[in-house]
Amino acid sequence: MKTILLFFISILILGCGPEYYAPNSQNIPIMKAKGQTNLGVGYNESDYTHGFEIQAAHAITNHIALQLNGDWVNGDSSNDYKATGRILEIGAGYFKKTAPHFVFETYGLFCFGKVELEKTTSNTNNFSAKFNRIGIQPSLSYSRKHFSTSLSSRFVHLKYRDINGDQNSTDFDPNYLRTNNTYWLLEPALTIQFGTENLKLQLQYVYSYNLTNPEFEQEPDIISLGLKFNINPKKE
């Protein structure tokens, strides 16, 4: 039986032990001017999850932008269990064109969501938890008409809450997570985009390192593939 990994928490049905966390992809809109809008759809995957996500960002001034992100995840499930997760993330930040083809951005981000492990044979939840994550995400991008690449790093505080589960039904121990429910994480990422001026294919790799407890059971990375649609402001 395979490991079940939700968006932020994975539960191991049989094996060495539970894994509790996996990173999500980062929204790097490469904002340059007031009125710019960046929209994206994508597919992300780690060893034990796959998810569909949407991303949006809009520049409300020449240096301030907002973003909104959502993710829906399914874990690798057995015949007896179904794992799902969902997340909503909001952010606001500062951007500046530092050179002819370089853009610096930094966003403050807050997200919340819920994960569930359902026993399909009895139609009841064997595990559920809510979580919050807050942090910052600076990035530096090299941007041309048909190609861009970005280096970014997300520094966040993750906290689990409202943890419910039957520790006798899986190897996952909800009592352990209740007493070890807060962590600091550092998550660097590399993003590559290529295509037309307004529509690009995006490939991103995110690595996650637990600063609070490097031995904490979690997925170390994730890869995502998606499309980015850019709407530039009308020129006067």
Residue in 4, 129, 144, 11 with CA at minimum distance from that of residue 74: 4
Q: Is residue 103 within 8 Å of 138, Cβ to Cβ?
A: no
Instruction: Give pairs for 119-123: CB < 8 Å, separation 24+.
Output: 119/80, 119/81, 119/169, 120/79, 120/80, 120/81, 120/82, 121/80
Q: What are the sequence ranges of the domains in the chain?
A: 3-231
Residue ranges of the chain whose pLDDT lies below 50: 1-17, 236
Q: How far, CA to CA in Å, does 176 sit from each of 95, 113, 116, 171, 215?
A: 40, 20, 17, 11, 14
* 196-212 confidence digits (pLDDT tens): 999 999 999 999 999 99
Q: Architecture of domain 3-231 in CATH?
A: Beta Barrel (2.40)
* 61-86 confidence digits (pLDDT tens): 999 999 999 988 877 655 566 777 88
Q: How far, CA to CA in Å, does 7 sit from each of 51, 72, 74, 159?
A: 8, 8, 8, 14
Q: Which residues pair with 68 in a beta bridge?
A: 56, 90
Prediction pTM value: 0.85
